Structure 1
Amino acid sequence: MQLIKVGVACVNQTPFAWDQNFMNLASAIDQARTAGVSLLCLPELAITGYACEDAFFMDGLQDTAFAQLEALAELTTNMVVAVGLPIYHEKALYNAAALLVNGAIVGFVAKQFLAGDGIHYEPRWFKAWPAGEIDWLERKAVDGSMRKYPLGDLAFDIGGIRVGFEICEDAWVANRPGMDLALRGVDVMCNPSASHFAFGKFVVRQRFVIEGSRAFGVAYLYANLLGNEAGRVIYDGGGLIASNAELVARGRRLSFSEVELSTAVIDIDANRREQARRGSHRPRHDAEELVVEHGFNWPSRRPELPEPIEPSWEDGSHVRDEEFGRAVALALWDYMRKSRSQGYVVSMSGGADSAACAVLVALAVQLAYQELGAAGVKSRLPRVKRLHDVIDRGGSIDESISALLACAYQPTENSGTVTRTAAEHVSKAIGAVFHVIDVDPQFKQYIAALETTIGRKLDWVADDVTLQNIQA
């Protein structure tokens, strides 16, 4: 029985935020070491952030990313760590994962299937790596010497345990790389991902992680990005670990934490025995050139009962509603803190749309307090003095919402008491500051200017939509 403790860490990264991104990754490694983890999987493009877009082609970005990788490697004493970053090689850019072992960069695996549908544009920046090909990446060291690292469709034999990779989209296709890696004897499959939130998507992820562990005879480690990375995409985290067709760890989704670590003890020999029993398993014996060997002393471990997966909102009867509220709340929270804003102003019409926007901002503050506490909220928003004043005097969550959210009802002569009352009641119920700003003079001034331009009067019979749009 060979037992190892593995972990997956979901991290909340920001493109070009080098210092904060490094701190998050270093914190994940430190938390994993404290938990006794020997092998840790971090997300796709976690060093740079996923949404660097055309800036991926900048020399400065690529060089800084590699320098950060070297610094991370120094933190991996007595550990094996997988992490994603862009790699430039022979006039092409690749979406890659690096394997760090006990302070050394052992090699790189490049993504074979690029996400190019929906909101993803990876083929604009990256090239797909051909299956079965390997090469050497050369990098000039600080002392001027050239260092060479294996790169390509590789598996790694680390102290007798083989580690392979499927990078995000690789696992979503029919001919996923895991099929060939299983024939090469891989024991642990790492999947560094940047998989955006969508309704029902988490169920699919769990399905291919569990099925991958069964079909490939491996422990399957899935690590995802977390949060509103750059304003356009929400990542929901949700790290997963499966072994021998069983889900053994499930991390929290849509968390307000910078790092979410999940761990499990897995039995390498049990997976190997299960694979050996199958008459359909036909291992390859002609692919040793696709395996990189590196020494490592895996610590001996005693068997541990797996920590039970605690029931959460994920298991309730209103998952879709919960997902929507939590996803948008986290997106609003991250957008506010990463853009260094002082809060939100919502124009309240008295209708459902603006009310929903205001409620979601308030929910973001409530969930942040629930998960981070007052001190954590304060540290995440270091530049919002109004909020600090509330927290320092022990103010309530509603008072904190007032410091971060202002709602404004902007009536004209056509507005009624029903919409004003609705806007005021909603604003005050959620703790927001409420303002009434009479815009009737501006409304009439704009209409007069438009009437002068078109040479006729506007009226509500012929120009109903136009007048409504002006008022809105």
Structure 2
Amino acid sequence: MKYIKVGAATLNQTPLDWKGNKKNIITAIEAARADKISILCLPELCISGYGCEDTFLAFGTLVQSQQVLHDIVPYTKDIIVAVGLPLSYHNRVYNTVCLLVDGKIGGFVAKRFLPSSGIHYEPRWFHRWPQNVHSEIELNGEHYPIGDIYFSCGSVRIGFEICEEAWVANRPGIKLAEKGVDIILNPSASHFGFGKYKIRERFILEGSRAFSVSYIYTNLLGNEAGRAIYDGNAMIATGGQPLANSKRFSFSDYQLVSALVDVDLTRMSQARTSDWVPDLTNRIRIPFDYPQVSPSQNIATLPLWEQSATIKEEEFTRAVSLGLFDYLRKSRSQGFVLSLSGGADSSAIACLVRLMVELGVAELGIKDFCAKLNYKLLPTTTITDLVKSLLTCVYQATENSSETTKLAATSLAKGIGADYMILNVNALVKGYVQLVSTALKQPLTWEQHDIALQNIQARTRSPSIWLIANLRNALLLATSNRSEMAQGYATMDGDTSGGLSPLAGIDKEFLRHWLHWLEHEGPLQLSPIPALTLVNQQAPTAELRPKKMEQTDEADLMPYHLLNIIEKAAIRDRQTPYEIFCLLQVRCQEYEDEQLLFWVERFFNLWTRNQWKRERFAPSFHLDDESLDPKTWCRFPILSGGYAEELAEMKERAKQTTQN
């Protein structure tokens, strides 16, 4: 039996942060060496960062990436390390992985399958490397193999599937298995999505079984570039069996997992064929001995929260908490400011900041948590002290605000320990209304000017909350959710004001459910937040009309659960209005057909006329594959025909069905 200790390290990188990225890479390599790991896999494009966008095409980015690569090389004595970087070859840029072996460059594998959907836009920057093509590249006077290749290191064959390549039908692992590869490394930059880790686990386990190899997968960690959150999922498997799993959503700079794999065992089920392969056995010394110890050390366990029945709630909590933490420290802000209305959205954000502190301190300890935020530690600093320092909540009342929301906001702010203040902006609202009314020489009434009178209240709240954020050098958080984003149910330069919109990637139906869960149960090993009671007792309302009008969000739009169904069908599944009407007839039988037709028409009318708002929303987190962010996911024309013919067809076909 030939045991080899292999490892995978997840890294929390930042695009174009050459110093920080290099430090994390070297730290992970040194930790791997201390753990007697022989082969280490690091994430895709970890030298430059994955989210460099169009700067991948900048000459300076490529030069800096190569410089960092050469800086890392000396740290790879006595170890094999796979590290990702962009590389120019024949005036084309490729997404590559460099195999470093015992302090030397072994060669470069270039990515063949490039993702082009959703948040991924790789074909804009990188060229696809053709199958079975291998060549040489010259760097600093030295020649190295490059292309669709694998390596022989000390009689062990190492191949690659780079992120997307494991998700396609014709995955490279099929050919690698035919060539007798012993170990497949998968350096990835796979953004978080609800339940996505289960899909990864399947292709890793199945790949290790079907290809008769040991499979080493690693991913990025944290909020790398602003929108995408990476869960830091790393896994090692052999013969269809998991050997090691990393902790997901870690607040650390890196996570390292290792396992012992038996090369002879996987070879027993392979049929080797000959092929050209860079043989590094002779030209590069492999001085380390493979540890001959029992593989019983391999333990692949999942945290308890990943085994719970509320996995989506747990993932949402941990993903957004980590996203907020990295966004805060990487933007060099000194805290968050939030307009806390006492409603569901702003209350959810306030709770997530509290959870960010609790989760971060639980893992890092208060001292290291504060150090990562560049926060001056006080002798008696507690979690509540940190929340009060990092989160400022402001309730801004008008004559249309109720005591219910005021009490809900006050109770929650005090319950989570936020800094809290109350402003009354009613005089400012009346001043604007009077100013414009006088200029127009006409009174402004709710009967004639409903939307304008609602919007001026939301916009009047913006200057003061921005002023507080500026004074505290803090990041203002916008409060809109995805359901409102779909319908334009938000005031531009009002409740959309902010530098980050943490909830714009999640629907209102889930948020309301999550808040009830947080009130009564909460994340595993953390306490629930009973101060949410008054928030959860209310029907969602903007409180912008006079109280006697009894405004609610669902009356203005439609029931949120129904809105969620229509949005998924229309945007994710691209169904026509009539197809959606038929779907609702089956799934929402408690409503009359006439009402369903009205709501479908309302959805498409509001969707098409409000694309300009979606274009202006603050950056949001990607939490699933149903994002409405037009900059990175769901593109729609600002001006369009508005589905006029499709809606007319829906009504006509529904009418004919009724008559028949």
TM-score bracket for this pair, using the shorter chain length: over 0.9
| Higher RCO, 1 vs 2 (CA within 8 Å, ≥6 residues apart) | 1
Q: Does 1:364 align with 2:356?
A: yes
Does the 8 A contact of 1:5 with 1:264 survive in 2?
A: yes
Match status 1:426 vs 2:385 = no
Match of 1:398 among 362, 384, 393: 384
Q: Report what 1:39 is aligned to.
A: 39
Map 1:16-415 → 2, pairs under 5 A: 16-139=16-139, 141=140, 146-276=141-271, 283-285=272-274, 287-288=275-276, 290-295=277-282, 296-301=286-291, 302-312=293-303, 313-382=305-374, 384=375, 388=376, 391-415=377-401
Instruction: Name the CA distance, whole Å, in 2 between partners of 1:300 and 1:342.
Output: 48
Structure 1 residue 232: Cα displacement: 1.2
2:628 maps to none
1:437 and 2:423 equivalent? yes
Q: Is the 8 Å Cα contact of residues 159 and 297 (structure 1) preserved in structure 2?
A: no
How far the C-alpha of 1:80 sits from its partner, in A, is 0.3
Deviation per CA, 1:308-330: give whole Å up to 9, x if none: 33341111111110000100000
The residue type paired with residue 289 of structure 2 is P
**Bigger strand fraction:** 1
Q: How far apart are 1:297 and its partner, in Å? A: 4.2
Look up the equivalent residue of 2:425 and give its one-letter code: V
Q: Is the 8 A contact 2:190 2:230 kept in 1?
A: yes
Q: 1:271 to 1:432 in 2, by over 3 A?
A: same
Following TM superposition, by how much is the alpha carbon of 1:445 offset from its aligned partner in structure 2, in angstroms? 2.4
1:166-191, Cα deviation, whole Å (9 max, x unpaired):
00000000000111111111101000
8 A Cα contact 1:83 1:98, kept in partner? yes
Is contact 1:155-1:292 (8 Å) kept? no
What TM-score results when the alignment is normalised by the length of structure 1?
0.93
Q: Secondary structure at the match of 1:294?
A: coil
Which moves more between the two structures, 441-450 or 123-132?
441-450
Task: Give the C-alpha shift of residue 452 in structure 1.
Answer: 4.5
Task: Give 1:298 shift.
Answer: 4.8
| Alpha-carbon displacement from aligned partner over 1:371-403 (angstroms, at most 9, x marks no partner) | 100111121011x3xxx2xx3222220111000
Does the CA contact (< 8 Å) of 1:73 and 1:104 recur in 2?
A: yes
- Distance in structure 2 (CA, Å) of the matches to 1:131 and 1:306: 38
Q: Distance in 2 between matches of 1:45 and 1:459?
A: 58
Secondary structure of the 2:297 match is coil
What is the CA–CA distance in structure 2 between the aligned matches of 1:80 and 1:87, rounded to whole Å?
A: 20
Letter in 2 for 1:167: I
Question: What is the deviation of 1:442?
Answer: 2.1
Q: Distance in 2 between matches of 1:190 and 1:453?
A: 69
Q: Does the Cα contact within 8 Å between 1:240 and 1:247 map onto a contact in 2?
A: yes
Q: Distance in 2 between matches of 1:211 and 1:455?
A: 74
Secondary structure of the equivalent of 1:197? coil
Please name the residue that 1:279 is paired with. Answer: none
1:467 Cα offset (Å): 2.0
CA distance in 1, matches of 2:150, 2:182: 10
Letter in structure 2 aligned against 1:464: D
- Paired residue type of 1:8: A
Report the AA paired with residue 198 of structure 2: V
Secondary structure of 2:270's aligned partner = helix
For 2:321, the aligned partner's letter is A
What code does the residue aligned with 1:21 have? N
What is the one-letter code of the residue matched to 1:409? Y
CA drift of 1:300 comes to: 3.2
SS at match of 1:275: coil
Structure 1: how far apart are the matches of 2:155 and 2:161? 20
Shift of 1:407: 0.1
Do the aligned residues in 1 keep the contact of 2:191 with 2:230 (CA within 8 Å)?
yes
Give the deviation of 1:256 after TM superposition.
0.4
Question: Could you report, residue by residue, the CA deviation over 1:241-263 in whole angstroms, capped at 9, with x for unpaired residues?
Answer: 00111010010111101010010
**Partner Cα distance (2:20, 2:412) in 1:** 37
SS of alignment partner, residue 194 of structure 1: coil
Amino acid at match of 1:126: F
Could you say if the C-alpha distance between residues 432 and 150 of structure 1 is closer, same or farther in structure 2, counting changes exceeding 3 Å? same
Percent identity between matched residues is 46
Aligned residue for 2:280, secondary structure, equals: strand
- Whether 2:452 is the aligned partner of 1:466: answer yes
Q: CA deviation at 1:453?
A: 5.5
The one-letter amino acid of 2:358's match is: Q
> Normalised by the size of structure 2, how large is the TM-score?
0.67
Rounded Cα–Cα distance in structure 1 between residues aligned with 2:436 and 2:227: 36
Change in 2 beyond 3 A, CA 1:452/1:183? farther
SS at structure 2 position matched to 1:468 = helix
Using the alignment, how far apart are the partners of 1:304 and 1:209 within structure 2? 19
| Count of residue pairs brought into register by the alignment | 453
Match of residue 280 from structure 1: none
The question of whether the paired residues in 1 share the 8 Å contact of 2:180 and 2:270 is answered with no
Moved more, 456-465 or 256-265: 456-465
Instruction: Identify the range of structure 1 (50-59 vs 447-456) with the bigger mean alpha-carbon deviation.
Output: 447-456
CA-CA distance at 1:105 after TM superposition: 0.4
Cα RMSD for the two superposed structures:
1.4
Q: Map Cα deviations across residues 405-445 of structure 1 (whole Å, 9 max, x no partner).
A: 00000111221211111111111111101111121222122
Q: Give the direction of change, closer, same or farther, for the CA distance of 1:399–1:170 in structure 2 (3 Å limit).
A: same
* Separation (CA, whole Å) in 2 of partners of 1:156 and 1:421: 66
Which amino acid letter does the alignment assign opposite residue 185 of structure 2?
A: C
Distance in 1 between residues matched to 2:410 and 2:123, nearest whole Å:
49
Query: Do the aligned partners of 1:76 and 1:102 also contact (CA within 8 Å) in 2?
Result: yes
- Indicate conservation of the 8 Å contact 1:46/1:85, yes or no: yes
CA separation in 1, counterparts of 2:160 and 2:386?
Answer: 44
Which letter maps to 1:359?
A: C
Q: Which is further off, 441-450 or 236-245?
A: 441-450
Cα distance in 2 for partners of 1:258, 1:456 equals: 61
CA-CA distance at 1:451 after TM superposition: 3.1
Task: Flag as ranges the 4+ runs of structure 1 deviating above 6 A.
Answer: none
Check the 8 A contact 2:161/2:187 in 1, yes or no. Answer: yes
Matching residue's letter, 1:364: M
Contact 2:245 2:302 in 1 (8 A): no
Q: 1:187 to 1:463 in 2, by over 3 A?
A: same
Q: Is the deviation greater in 352-361 or in 291-300? A: 291-300
| TM-aligned CA distance change 1:437 to 1:299, over 3 Å | same
Letter in 1 for 2:206: E
* Native 8 Å contact 1:106 1:294 kept in 2: no
